Structure formats: C-alpha cells, structure tokens
Amino acid sequence: MNVLLTGGAGYIGSHTAVELLNRGCDIVIADDYSNSSPVAVERIRQITGRDFPAYHADVTDREAVRRIFRENKIDCVIHFAGKKAVGESVKIPLSYYRTNLDAALTVLECMKEASVSRFIFSSGSLNPIPYREDMPRGECSSPYGTTKAMIEKILEDACHADPALSAVLLRYFNPIGAHPSGLIGEDPQGIPNNLLPYIAQVAVGRREKLTVFGGDYPTPDGTCRRDYLHVMDLAAGHHRAACYTMEHPGVTAVNLGTGTPYSVLEVIEAFRKASGREVPYVIGPRRAGDLPEYWADAAKAKELFGWQAQYTLQDMCRDTWAWQSKNPQGYPKA
Ligand code: UDP
C-alpha cells in the first residue's frame, strides 16, 4: 500500500510515517513546512532506514497535488495538512476556513481525477465545548473546530455520492509523547499552547514554571482531566484506519484514546518521575473554554480495527523527555 501523507512532516504525520514504513507500506510526504521542519523528513529516513519521495508542496496548490498523483501510484491518502491553532483561528477565521477547506477539497478533487478512493481524515478533536442547552448540536467552540466538522460533512456527502469512496474520520484529543528514539517529536513554534510541550520546556530549562489553569474544578484533585494518548499509538491507529479503508467503502468515524483521563497534577508528577527534573508550577485561573474532564470511548476502534492503546502515561512522559532532552530547541534550522 502506497500512502500519501499530507502534512507528513508535522508531529502526528511524522510518527504515522514511521509506523507505516515499519509496517512495510510505501509513503509519499507532501508538506509546505509552514509549521514543520524538513529535518523531520530526514529523521524519519534515519529511524526507518527507508527512503521515500517528499514534496515541498502546499496542498491548496492544485497543480502541485496533481503532479504528486501523476508521479506516484497512490492507494490511500492520510490528510493532516491544515492550520491547527485554536486561539489563532478565532482571530483570523477566514484564513482558517480558506486554508483548511481548500486543502481538503483540493486533495479530494485531485484524488478523484487520479481515481484514488481511500481517505483518512486525521480530524483530531472537534473542540468540545461546555455544552449549553441553547447550542445547536455539533456546534464547535472555534473556527478551527468548525473547519474540522465541515470537512467531516464534506466527506459524508462525497461518500454518499460516490459508492467507491472510503473515508475514515479519526477523532482523538490529547496526543503526547514521541518516537522512543527521541529523534522526532512535537516542536511548537513560540510559547506552547498545550500542556506537555510546556512541561517539557520547563523541565529542560527553557521556561521558568508552568501555570496550571484552574485548581477548583469538580475533579478529584481540582485540575482538569484529559485522555492523553501516546503519539505512537495514534500512529498505529492511522495505519489500521488505512488498512480498513482498503476493504470498507463509505464513511466511518472512529475515536482513538485510552479511555482513561489523567489530571494536570498527575501528568506533572509522571513527568517529574520520567525526567528526574523538577517541574515548578503555580495554580492560576481557569482558561476560558476548558471543560473539567473528557475522554474518548474507543470501543469502536477495538471492534473495527482491533486497535487498543498500548502505552502508559509513564511511557508518554519518558518519550516526550527523550525528544525534549535530545532536542532542547526543537529541530535544528534546516
Ligand atoms: N494546561 C495547563 N497549563 C498549560 C497548558 C494546559 O494547566 O500551560 C491544562 C489545560 O487547562 C487542560 C490540560 O492542561 O486541562 C490540557 O490542555 P491542552 O491545551 O494540552 O489540551 P486540550 O485538552 O485543551 O486540548
């Protein structure tokens, strides 16, 4: 199976690339490196000892995408490419709608031209919100989340119109960790929005302390609880989804998660143990939009894919630390 990974140099894309190569698949990467590094592509080759084509391409560029399908016989596309900063999407919504919808539509149209009919949308979280009774069903908390929901709807309609088309919508919440080699990992630009990159940068000395957003939630220790998932488990889930599309036309939404939420304080403690470094923190005010807790019911992934998360929270922290300690400033500038 030859899989095109759009956004394949990014955090989840690069780990999925390693998983696919290790499972004997061929891959092609397309990435514009706007929020990723070409060094990641080299590291994927280093980890797997395998070579593959990598295109420096923006997938909203129709000619660039056509060329990829012309030059490679692709069986399946895993679509990661898109903008993903929740806060930024609130400030520049038009840019998010333009980029994310354009990317998905362009790839789908070029797939049709090339008679490629298998698509995995790495949808991630649709951005759960504190649900109020007056909100319509399916409402998202940010333009970013809405682009995801819209792309899922587009895929539903496209599969309805074309019985040969097969799409899996993968939903998951908090991917963390890294390849155990520490050669690839999450490399946020600027101040990290997410918990684990922030903790890792505190532990490595790039930032002074973590602010825990809220200590008065109705949870056992007062901090929010989330379903953290090792990125290698997530990568394995993408591989299984790709295999699934080979046999099953139509559209299927599948959650990936451990089903077990951990609190912010539990994550800090696990990271302290894994790294042997202190993680100084203060409890600050709540962050707008955070829910006290949520987790994914991944029963369907087990049933359809035979997939279950294998890694523990301790593994996730160990591997995040392997990446951060070997690459304190992230990927070197290419
Ligand atoms: N969090 C925190 N301090 C930070 C970043 C995150 O306390 O600097 C908390 C956040 O409130 C949430 C959890 O860590 O409870 C995970 O947040 P993240 O942004 O990583 O993912 P989210 O669950 O919001 O998608």
116-147 pLDDT, tens digit each: 999 999 988 766 655 556 666 667 778 998 99
Please give the distance, rounded to the nearest whole angstrom, from the Cα atom of residue 141 to the centre of ligand 1.
Answer: 15
Q: Residue 334: pLDDT above 70?
A: no
Q: Where are the alpha helices (DSSP H) in the chain?
A: 11-22, 38-48, 62-71, 86-91, 93-113, 143-161, 195-203, 231-247, 264-275, 299-305, 313-326
CA distance 168 to 103: 17
Residue of 186, 195, 196, 293 to test ligand 1 pocket, by largest number of atoms within 8 Å of CB: 195
Helix (H) or strand (E) holding 307: none
Please give the distance, rounded to the nearest whole angstrom, from the Cα atom of residue 214 to the centre of ligand 1.
Answer: 10
- Say whether 11 is catalytic: no
Residue nearest (by alpha carbon) to ligand 1 atom 16 = 195
Q: What is the pLDDT of residue 133?
A: 63
Minimum-distance ligand 1 atom for the alpha carbon of 125: 25
Distance of CA 103 to the CA centre of its chain: 16
Residue nearest (by alpha carbon) to ligand 1 atom 11 = 213
Ligand 1 cavity residues, CB under 6 Å: 174, 193-195, 198, 210-213, 224, 226, 264, 287, 290
State the DSSP code for 122: E
Residue of 127, 176, 194, 216 to test ligand 1 pocket, by largest number of atoms within 8 Å of CB: 194
Q: What is the pLDDT of residue 139?
A: 73
Q: What is the pLDDT of residue 246?
A: 93
Compute the average pLDDT of residues 53-57. Answer: 98
